[in-house]
Structure 1
């Protein structure tokens, strides 16, 4: 039985009535709900990308690079301090089988302390940081963006139910409306002010609207309490430690490259690494965000999640594997057309890291299982070992091979990390590697055939220079031939195997269900 979100539960910190809004849970299996949830997250990311591109094309004509730079620097401090203080409050609530009011209120209070703590650090450090960067204009901007952290701290913890009950359509609304308003205000004020303050005011407006909407979209009304802090302490502490390892991983790599090769090399590395990671951020990441809730539901039902893991892994391999390999194969035309010949140095990075990222679904989905089942100590040990090994390899390979050496170090350690994660996950869920391979071998074979065809036709991993027109033709041909060959190979292998149950059938079922919903909405009332 689900408690009224506004009612007070027992305050002794023990598990009691579930304080979540169970009516948010949709119909269907965990797999179908998880897939729909991932679709909403992917939709939000694509909408955000489009809105961001639209606003950037206008704002770059109204503001200077220095305006963008000072805002980016200030917001990076907010995000950096916030990440360092992240303790996984929402995840702790989602993975609890029956989180009561005490847990929700404790989560809200911890977020409040964290957000205002970051704001206080920015207020105290604004002028020293500005002096460090020899930019007095940075100080008032830091004072202003401290408000973003403070406003975010007051968000209604109840909206965690949107993730918990896989109601990502609600989260889509919560995120997209403030983003649209932010864009409109940013563009309007840029015309009027012609200053970076237009961007700052727009960001503050976004956070203010988001905070207000969290109370409009969910009936829960949080209270100040830390009574359930012990129930969160162990899990949240490990989340914090793992975040530190992640920060060391990313920032350490940039620091070493900057120290050994200069700031320009950091920029090229960042571009190549970001493009190579697009399948992760735009496809695999949304799935994992939704899958966390799916695995938490399975855990609450005393299901170890093995079946869900197999089906999600197979489904996402069909999509993410060819996308990742495709980016690697067509790196040269993508970089030249998208960023110009000055960035050609990013091509080998995209080619090398892209291969490793094509298989990242195995490590990322396994990492979700680790987090849901609180195998955090093992995750920390592996993350620390991989990070130290990666940084060591970069130090060794960078002087010899330059930036491609760093890419090799990242690719090798990523592949090892993914293999270890999936092997341990499969073992702990009482599965076998043969069972996993049985679900994904057709996708791997189809991707291999696609790769072989593109390389044979000199459309893949080709560094042949040419005009932009030639590179556009090259890229278009590679995408078309790659998509056709992969799809045909996958369908052919599935038919030859006797159309077994698996990702192909799941994908067809999802498409049929989507078409039925579209047809139903078109019918007159």
Structure 2
């Protein structure tokens, strides 16, 4: 089948990007872990929590909307770009206004300057051309590879150079700013059509109408994925947050990377074959089996050699993350295995399914996280993420069966 070849080709390119980018990320992490302290990573984590929250709270679903469209993208690009610019400035303004409240909430005065600085990231990202989704929509993953690799490498290089010079967590934010500037330049210089300052109310209404469910799903997804970070940062402090976020990063790196690659590659393919339930079902089964074959061995290796990996890669100062890291690997595997079905929900324009599933996970997380945190600390918070992820599985199965009836 053609979708099998397209998936294999796309997975090759995006898998190549993930491998290459994660090698760069590994080098970056190894260097920065020896320059910055866990508490400094925690302060940076607080700033990124604020940015991520406001980004998902104002999510318009433009990229998914453009991928779902069967017709040419040109008629939507101009309006989509203006919406993106307005959203970027809105997020930046909200960050500036909320910064003192955020610092007070986390009792982390050292995070104030980082939160203020990170507002530049959202303002710059708003100017990224929506036409960049064209590569994913038209399965041109080779071009996507080179652009993303250039951005990621530049981001990492700037962060390392600034960290070596200043020894402050602001270096991580300057890396984000540099990467965002380069992304704006590349998407306008290399991708056609170029957006213009033009606005169509009908296009805007379509984007908002389709995107409202993605906004809800994005908010719930943020609360699910970042809720544990918020609890750690608020009640256990920035040092514990630094440890926990590093454990999360290491645990999910080899596992969810596979799921993310499959999700990015298969969404446009699922969308193209969405009218044929037989083809779509066949593609979903194969993607799920392939994901399992890749993530289970990788997760097992990481669980067995956790202490050795942490000591060699990060250094002994990071050994406290070993227990929670083992738990988070199980969470990552669970998420990876249900991800193909979640991608199908988007492909068949059932964003409301994704919103409902994520809401169930949030409720389960809210119920489990506080008692488990009191009993087991960081490990308890990791266990709560597993419970929350498993709680949504029956609903994912139900919706998947409903789609293929």
Residue 179 in structure 1 maps to residue 152 in structure 2: yes
Q: Which residue of 2 aligns with 1:508?
A: none
Q: Is the 8 A contact 2:39 2:242 kept in 1?
A: no
Question: Deviation at 1:170?
Answer: 1.0
Residue 418 in structure 1 maps to residue 388 in structure 2: no
Q: Is the 8 A contact 2:247 2:322 kept in 1?
A: yes
Q: Which residue of 2 aligns with 1:396?
A: 371
Q: Is the 8 A contact 1:279 1:358 kept in 2?
A: no
CA distance in 1, matches of 2:164, 2:243: 32
Question: Deviation at 1:136?
Answer: 8.3
Alpha-carbon spacing, 1:221–1:302, altered in 2? closer, same or farther (3 Å): farther
Question: Deviation at 1:418?
Answer: 3.0
1:119 to 88, 92, 104: 92
The 5-angstrom pairing of residues 217-236 of structure 1 reads 217-223=190-196, 224-227=198-201, 228-236=203-211
Higher radius of gyration, 1 or 2: 1
Structure 2 residue runs without a partner (length 5+): none
Question: Deviation at 1:381?
Answer: 2.4
Residue 210 in structure 1 maps to residue 183 in structure 2: yes
Is the helix fraction higher in 1 or 2? 2
How many residues of Structure 1 are paired with residues of Structure 2 in the alignment? 402
CA distance in 1, matches of 2:248, 2:151: 29
Residue 363 in structure 1 maps to residue 319 in structure 2: no
**Aligned partner of residue 273 in structure 2, secondary structure:** helix
Q: Which residue of 2 aligns with 1:433?
A: none
Alpha-carbon spacing, 1:64–1:407, altered in 2? closer, same or farther (3 Å): closer
Alpha-carbon spacing, 1:146–1:346, altered in 2? closer, same or farther (3 Å): closer
Q: Which residue of 2 aligns with 1:475?
A: none
**Aligned partner of residue 87 in structure 1, secondary structure:** coil
Alpha-carbon spacing, 1:359–1:81, altered in 2? closer, same or farther (3 Å): closer
TM value normalised by structure 2: 0.83
Alpha-carbon spacing, 1:342–1:419, altered in 2? closer, same or farther (3 Å): farther
CA distance in 1, matches of 2:329, 2:167: 39
CA distance in 1, matches of 2:154, 2:244: 33
**Aligned partner of residue 299 in structure 1, secondary structure:** coil
Q: Which residue of 2 aligns with 1:323?
A: 298
Question: Deviation at 1:248?
Answer: 2.1
Question: Deviation at 1:376?
Answer: 2.4
Q: CA RMSD in A?
A: 3.6
Question: Deviation at 1:112?
Answer: 1.4
**RCO greater where, 1 or 2, for CA within 8 Å and sep 6 or more?**
2
Q: Is the 8 A contact 1:362 1:421 kept in 2?
A: no
Deviations 1:426-462 (A, max 9, x none): 44224xxxxxxxxxxxxxxxxxxxxxxxxxxxxxxxx
The 5-angstrom pairing of residues 21-36 of structure 1 reads 29-36=2-9
Q: Which residue of 2 aligns with 1:312?
A: 287
CA distance in 1, matches of 2:200, 2:138: 24
Q: Is the 8 A contact 1:156 1:220 kept in 2?
A: no
Alpha-carbon spacing, 1:342–1:242, altered in 2? closer, same or farther (3 Å): same
Structure 1 residue runs without a partner (length 5+): 1-27, 431-525
Alpha-carbon spacing, 1:401–1:97, altered in 2? closer, same or farther (3 Å): same
Q: Which residue of 2 aligns with 1:385?
A: 360
Q: Which residue of 1 aligns with 2:123?
A: 150
**Aligned partner of residue 377 in structure 1, secondary structure:** helix
Residue 103 in structure 1 maps to residue 76 in structure 2: yes
TM value normalised by structure 1: 0.66
